[in-house]
Amino acid sequence: NEQTGIKPASKVWEYFNRVENEASLQAECIICKQRLKTPSYSTSPLVKHLLKHGIEYEKGGMLCARTSAMSKEQKRKLDDPAIKAIVQGGRSFGDLRKLGISKFIQQCAPTSDSHCTSYNVDKKRQRRNETKKVTQLILVPTDTDSDESNKEQEQLALVNVLN
């Protein structure tokens, strides 16, 4: 980042600039200039914001612009029944992003880079499983003779190395 002299590690920073603000940590989107809060330097709000611009992101993974094979007219024809189904069924709009529904939608109306979503979901699931396994291994006491604070420090060091 030009302002701080520190290059953030996440690829989402290709789309944002850090804004120095005493009240809160913020980032400004270079596409639309919207400022977003980034509590504890979190990039989650930035990732969610990029979805509004049609850009998907997975930590440590890839950025890809989603370009639809559907025309705007086709999208409009699908929007109305989707909204009615959600409202009448008492569902949340997030239901459309669930894996089973999103795969169904991809089959009905494929996008030119539909592999991106399934790749991201698979990578996310794989990373989550690896993290669970590693966490279980780390939380086993490292040495029965060492005192409690040393065990905790060793475990934290391992967690930091793995992240």
User: What is the spatial distance between Cα 71 and Cα 111, in angstroms, rounded to a whole number?
Assistant: 11
Query: What is the average pLDDT across 33-38?
Result: 90
Q: For residue 116, how far is the Cα from the chain centroid?
A: 13
Range of lowest pLDDT (2-11, 31-40, 137-146): 137-146
Nearest to 43 by CA among 13, 74, 81: 13
Residue 34: which pLDDT band, with cuts at 50, 70 and 90?
A: very high
Least confident stretch, 7-16, 82-91, 102-111, 154-163: 154-163
32 sits in the region (left: phi over 0; alpha: psi -120 to 50; else beta) called: alpha
Higher pLDDT, residue 17 or 67: 17
Domain boundaries, the chain: 1-67, 68-110, 129-162
Report the pLDDT value the prediction gives residue 114, as an integer from 0 to 100.
45
Position 160 scores a pLDDT of: 47
Q: Is residue 57 within 8 Å of 123, Cβ to Cβ?
A: no
